[in-house]
Homo-oligomer: A and B are copies of this chain.
Amino acid sequence: MHYGGDYNPEQWPEDIWPEDVARMREAGVTMVSLGIFAWSKLQPAEGEFDFGWLDRIIDLLHEGGIAVDLATATASPPPWATSTYPEMLPQDENGSVYWPGSRQQFAPSSPGYRRLAGELVSRLVERYHEHPAVVMWHVNNEYGCHLNADYSDAARDAFRVWLADKYGTVDALNEAWGTAFWSQLYGSFAEIFPPRKAPYSHNPAQLLDFHRFTSDALFECYLMEKRIIRAAGATQPITTNFMGAFKPADYWRWAAEMDVITDDCYPDPNDPQSFRAGAFQRDLMRSLKPGVPWLLMEQSSNALSWRPTNAPKSPGQMRALSMQAIARGADGILFFQWRQSRSGSEKFHSAMLPHAGTRTRTWREIVALGDELAGLPALPASSQEARVAIVLDWENWWALENPDHPVVLDYLSLVQNWHFALHQQNVQVDFVRASADLSGYQLVIAPQLYLLRADGAAGLTAFVEGGGHLLVTAFSDLVDEDERFRPEGYLTQLGPLLGIWLEDFGALVAPGAAGAGQSTAPLGSPLGSVTGTFLAEEIHPIEAVVLGEFTAGRLDGRPAFTRNDVGAGRAYYLATIPDAAGAVTITAHLLAEAGIEPVLPGLPITVEAARRGDVVTVINHGDTPVDLVLPGTDLQRDAPAGAVTLAPFDVRLLRLP
């Protein structure tokens, strides 16, 4: 179990470093991430490197028994670099340059950036790859975090190359993009631009490919650094820190090239439901690389500095969220950052060692958590505990949120709605791609699979045919990988499985939006009443059984929820999008039908339970104590758990028989 945080010794005079190491030992720190923003310190000018200070601090840490996750330091190029090579600077869709003075001021496609970054990584890995303190390589930092897309000429040139690689001929691109529409037929790849500001809507296939290109351009940067590290003979695991479900980068693709998944996670203490968002993020990280424990690479010890209101964490809340990560597969808890900065944009961001010093609650909690983690036995690696999976797919995310749809949807919130419903019932969930082997699951929920490739449709079909229960929801299986409607209508791939056909979408006024028009579509069924939102589709059962009908509005009396039995398997279709309560009602029904049990039954609404092998972690995220009777052995007290009063933010680890 790793414990530690980002360590930026370059912000401090060297005479503070020994105190840092001593305090780290006091706090139980085992590993720090070093040098993430040190490029301008490591390379003060082109061709000029200064590794002396880094040598000294790595040695000092090593002497103190602190391992190093060594950063490649490429996330923020030095001022000299962008002054010398201004073509490195990214641009927005209006042609405005992103200037230096902050961080991440590099165009990922820029040849100049890649050359300079590669050179730095080569020097670093050459010098440190055999240093015994270095146990991991930390490539760059939060790729794409602030700069979600680049529209510069560097991006333009690289996008053209990327498209030529993908399509071979411009005719193939014209066909895929449907450029006959609006007179967009291209004569050559050199006529194509990123989707910069235009008079009106962009070609949606162009937008979709630009999302793919943007993810790939960042990914190429990562792969370049990884190749350099490996080429130099380094054997440590290589990672780059993720940011949960982050739209610009398709983490499924990235995960395959990561030795260990690491994640930055900052739930808002003001939001009483943010522990569910935390659980969502951690379940996703675990799912990205099944069987390999991930690391919580960044969290905060207390308040942040970048929200409009940066509330403090409650006493115990930092520990509770840390244990949530461990419960859901993490083998390390790290923070941004070790010592709170005196200067710069994040000086109000809390740290392990606060600016107010060691007489603070924050420091006491940091020390206590380090102590607790050190006392934990080794936890089993996660195997596939979940019987339920939710499909989450990046290219569908990009396509679904393209403009000019019947209604504006936010894919992440729709996926989370299902996760939160299951989480509230303490049912363990994995995330999957539709094309994955789903045979280990009993229930798969596929929210808004608007873009569904043939392999995804095949995966879902095989799952049902193998006896699985599948829920498909409104606005699914509409377009192919080029954002084209498939010929012959909608639901052309899943329709036979679902036993229905789809006539129209029935857009509703979005919840909370102003203006007249139908905004909800209630549906009734034996399983209870549910409020539908966003869409109330006009569907026609062919072989499916109608489980529920719309009970008001335009489609009053028309089918809303259907089931089609395929051997032992079942294919459900929900012709709308339920609100939060509706998702609970529907999943409760599906879980019961599929015979799926929660991790622990009967827990209060603020209490979560997660399973990791034979260990179940129970956490009270509420602000009042709860009385529980818990099974198994209390792992930390080495005694039967039984009846306990769980204080706010308190935790129990249980080993089940």
Contact = CB atoms under 8 A, between A and B. Distances in A.
Interface of A: 8, 10-11, 37-41, 44-45, 73, 75-80, 83, 90, 92, 94-105, 145-147, 177-187, 190-193, 195-206, 268-272, 302-303, 305-306, 308-312, 314, 340-349, 354-357, 359-362, 403-408, 482-485, 487-490, 501-510, 513, 515-518, 554
Given A178-B11, A198-B102, A482-B343, A508 B361 contact: no
Contacts of A513: 308-309
A204 B345 contact: yes
Contact of A303 (B197, B206, B342, B406): B406
Given A79-B191, A100-B193, A178-B341, 17 more contacts: A39-B183, A41-B185, A77-B183, A78-B184, A79-B192, A99-B193, A101-B195, A101-B196, A101-B206, A105-B199, A205-B343, A270-B509, A309-B509, A311-B509, A312-B507, A342-B484, A346-B404
A192 B83 CA distance: 9
24 contacts: A10-B180, A40-B179, A40-B185, A79-B191, A83-B191, A90-B199, A92-B197, A96-B96, A99-B196, A99-B197, A100-B193, A147-B199, A178-B342, A182-B344, A200-B345, A308-B513, A309-B406, A309-B407, A309-B510, A340-B485, A343-B483, A345-B403, A348-B405, A361-B504
A487 B182 contact: no
Contacts of A314: 554
B312 A504 contact: yes
A76 B182 CA distance: 6
A308 B187 contact: no
- Of residues A37, A185, A361, A407, which shows the largest number of chain B Cβ atoms within 10 Å of its Cβ? A185
Nearest to A483: B343
A178 B309 CA distance: 24
Given A312-B506, A503-B356, A104 B8 contact: no
A8 B181 CA distance: 8
A45 B187 contact: yes
Contacts of A517: 268-271, 309, 311
A303 to B, nearest CB: 6
Contact of A344 (B83, B204, B348, B509): B204
A97 B349 CA distance: 36
Contacts of A186: 79
Contacts of A185: 40-41, 44, 78-79
B507 A406 contact: no
A495 to B, nearest CB: 11
Contact of A406 (B310, B340, B357, B508): B310
A182 B302 contact: no
A506 B205 CA distance: 47
B97 A95 contact: yes
A305 B41 CA distance: 52
B181 A507 contact: no
B506 A199 contact: no
Nearest to A204: B345
Contacts of A92: 197
A301 to B, nearest CB: 11
Nearest to A307: B507
A99 B181 contact: no
Nearest to A505: B303
Which are the 9 A-B pairs with shortest beta-carbon distances? A178-B343, A270-B517, A181-B344, A102-B198, A40-B185, A76-B183, A79-B191, A146-B200, A201-B345
Contacts of A193: 99-101
Contacts of A516: 270-272
A41 B185 CA distance: 7
A434 to B, nearest CB: 22
A64 B270 CA distance: 67
A203 to B, nearest CB: 6
A342 B504 contact: no
Contact of A355 (B199, B348, B485): B485
- Of residues A38, A200, A355, which shows the largest number of chain B Cβ atoms within 10 Å of its Cβ? A200
B312 A554 contact: yes
Contacts of A488: 357
B103 A182 contact: yes
A361 to B, nearest CB: 7
B40 A183 contact: yes
Given A79-B192, A181-B346, A510 B406 contact: no
Nearest to A491: B356
Nearest to A210: B101
Contacts of A501: 356
A183 B343 contact: no
Contacts of A178: 11, 341-344
B199 A80 contact: no
A92 B199 CA distance: 10
A566 B91 CA distance: 57
A487 B103 contact: no
Contacts of A403: 345
B310 A485 contact: no
Contact of A270 (B95, B104, B198, B515): B515
B518 A311 contact: yes
